[in-house]
């Protein structure tokens, strides 16, 4: 059976896939249909926090599968409650709403901001401010939040009430807050999909101060940078700010779909019975996987993330064919002299999987990728990035 032609014939045409079919793997090594091995520096877009087929993670998931796989949110279940407690204790947030994806986690954040502001300042105070180059999801509302015109083009009208300010330009943020009644500001500490653009600490602190002064919700989209990837449990922790809402997904359950919206003190009780819901949200198997994942994200693991990050940055910075290395922790972007697409294909041929992000080569390795594998992959990257570059 030719899986590639089957896929082309029957799967919706939304993904321009690389010519590789993954069939198995272990940790940071994945194997394709022909038995070729790849060092995976993409982890299914920051999802497989501990790589593939990780044993502790598998055990946690399988143990829950043996009990029950789903109950609906009409009943209590232990994995959901225990995971919510862990998330709150690790962040100082007060409550968690569970969903299934990053877009849904952001939808919840946006609903919370609108209801909070409507209650305090009136229903006209409905605007959500995000940043240019941001990415917040593919539903019509999170598309509206996404500050990239190319994603909007064919899908208008989008949900109204969204504004986009310039990255690292606090004066532009302030001008928009003066001009519109804003309920919440939603930011990624490092803009992942938009090109691995890190926000400056002073900018994030400035936004936090403006939010505080004006009783606007500070909301961090931690879908990609969250869950250990920044070298801290959540990206905002690197800057010492305290968001009112945190949305996350991707790496949270390290491979199964789980979204979470963490609610701080101000908005702990904003949503009431019937205000929001999700049939699959808080699924016990996903929550069991996330409990296992989160309990391994201790100081030693985070220290390891920072060491691996330093290794990558030190190895690639200033190398032939590398204009710049941006990002934080293990969400890193390489601005290549060669077209990113060529770098990605040649790395793939040579057994290393890397991703792109707006003209950059994006690296999202597993948080525990063995140093020797990482070094091997970096040797290939250095070679490919510098090839034919004068």
Contact residues: ligand PLP, CB under 6 A: 101-103, 106, 135-137, 188, 192-193, 221, 223-224, 249-250
Whole-number minimum distance, CB 23 to ligand PLP, in Å? 24
Nearest residue (CB) to ligand PLP, 77 versus 134: 134
Nearest residue (CB) to ligand PLP, 122 versus 359: 359
Whole-number minimum distance, CB 367 to ligand PLP, in Å? 16
**What ranges in the chain are assigned the alpha helix state H?**
3-10, 43-46, 55-65, 78-91, 102-121, 140-145, 149-152, 170-179, 201-214, 284-296, 299-316, 340-349, 371-386
Whole-number minimum distance, CB 101 to ligand PLP, in Å? 3
Check: CB of residue 230 under 8 Å from CB of residue 329: yes
Q: Is 254 helix (H, G, I), strand (E, B) or coil?
A: coil
Whole-number minimum distance, CB 137 to ligand PLP, in Å? 4
Integer Cα distance of 233 and 217 in angstroms: 21
Integer Cα distance of 353 and 348 in angstroms: 5
Nearest residue (CB) to ligand PLP, 173 versus 220: 220
Whole-number minimum distance, CB 139 to ligand PLP, in Å? 8
Nearest residue (CB) to ligand PLP, 137 versus 284: 137
Nearest residue (CB) to ligand PLP, 32 versus 193: 193
Check: CB of residue 168 under 8 Å from CB of residue 199: yes
Whole-number minimum distance, CB 256 to ligand PLP, in Å? 12
3-state helix, strand, coil in the chain (%, to 5): 40, 20, 40
Beta-carbon neighbour count of residue 76 at 10 Å? 8
Query: HSE (CB half, 13 Å, CA atoms) of 82?
Result: 16
E strands within 119-258? 127-131, 162-165, 182-187, 190-191, 197-198, 217-221, 245-248
Strand partners of residue 295? none
Nearest residue (CB) to ligand PLP, 261 versus 322: 261
Nearest residue (CB) to ligand PLP, 100 versus 321: 100
Whole-number minimum distance, CB 194 to ligand PLP, in Å? 9
- Among 258, 249, 226, 192, which Cα is nearest to 367's? 226
Whole-number minimum distance, CB 240 to ligand PLP, in Å? 21
Helices 284-296 and 55-65: angle between axes, nearest 10 degrees: 150
Q: Is 73 exposed, middle or buried (0-12, 13-18, 19+ CB in 10 A)?
A: middle
Nearest residue (CB) to ligand PLP, 218 versus 380: 218
Whole-number minimum distance, CB 82 to ligand PLP, in Å? 23
Integer Cα distance of 337 and 320 in angstroms: 9
Nearest residue (CB) to ligand PLP, 42 versus 192: 192
Of all residues in this chain, which one has the CB nearest to ligand PLP in the complex?
A: 102
């Amino acid at each position: 059976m030719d899986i590639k032609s089957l896929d082309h014939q029957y799967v919706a045409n939304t993904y321009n896939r690389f010519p590789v079919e993954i069939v198995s793997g272990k940790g940071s090594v994945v194997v394709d249909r022909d038995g070729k091995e790849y060092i995976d520096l993409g982890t299914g877009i920051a999802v497989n926090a501990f790589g593939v087929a990780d044993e502790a993670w598998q055990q946690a998931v399988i143990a829950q599968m043996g009990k029950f796989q789903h109950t609906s949110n009409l009943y209590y279940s232990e994995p959901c409650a225990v995971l919510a407690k862990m998330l709150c204790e690790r962040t100082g947030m007060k409550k968690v709403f569970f969903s299934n994806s990053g877009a849904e986690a952001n939808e919840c954040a946006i609903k919370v901001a609108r209801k909070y502001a409507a209650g305090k300042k009136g229903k006209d105070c409905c605007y959500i401010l995000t940043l240019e180059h941001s990415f917040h999801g593919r539903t019509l509302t999170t598309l509206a939040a996404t500050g990239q015109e190319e994603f909007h083009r064919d899908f208008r009208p989008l949900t109204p009430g969204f504004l986009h300010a310039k990255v690292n330009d606090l004066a532009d943020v302030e001008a928009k807050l003066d001009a519109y009644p804003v309920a919440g500001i939603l930011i990624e500490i490092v803009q992942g999909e938009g090109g691995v653009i890190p926000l400056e600490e002073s900018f994030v602190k400035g936004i936090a101060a403006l939010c505080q002064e004006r009783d606007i919700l500070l909301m961090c989209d931690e879908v990609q940078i969250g869950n250990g990837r920044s070298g801290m449990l959540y990206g905002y922790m690197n800057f010492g700010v305290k968001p009112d809402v945190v949305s996350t997904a991707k790496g949270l359950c390290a491979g199964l779909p789980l979204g979470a919206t963490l609610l701080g003190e101000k908005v702990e009780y904003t949503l009431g019975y019937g205000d929001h819901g999700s049939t699959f949200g808080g699924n016990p198997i996903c929550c069991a996987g996330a409990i296992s994942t989160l309990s391994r994200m201790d100081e030693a693991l985070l220290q390891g993330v920072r060491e691996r990050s330093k290794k990558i940055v030190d190895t690639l910075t200033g190398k032939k064919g590398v204009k710049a290395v941006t990002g934080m922790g293990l969400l890193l972007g390489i601005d290549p002299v060669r077209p990113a697409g060529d770098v990605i294909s040649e790395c793939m041929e040579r057994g290393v999987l890397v991703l792109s992000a707006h003209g950059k080569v994006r690296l999202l390795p597993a948080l525990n990728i063995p140093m020797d594998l990482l070094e091997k992959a970096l040797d290939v990257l250095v070679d490919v990035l510098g090839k034919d570059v004068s």
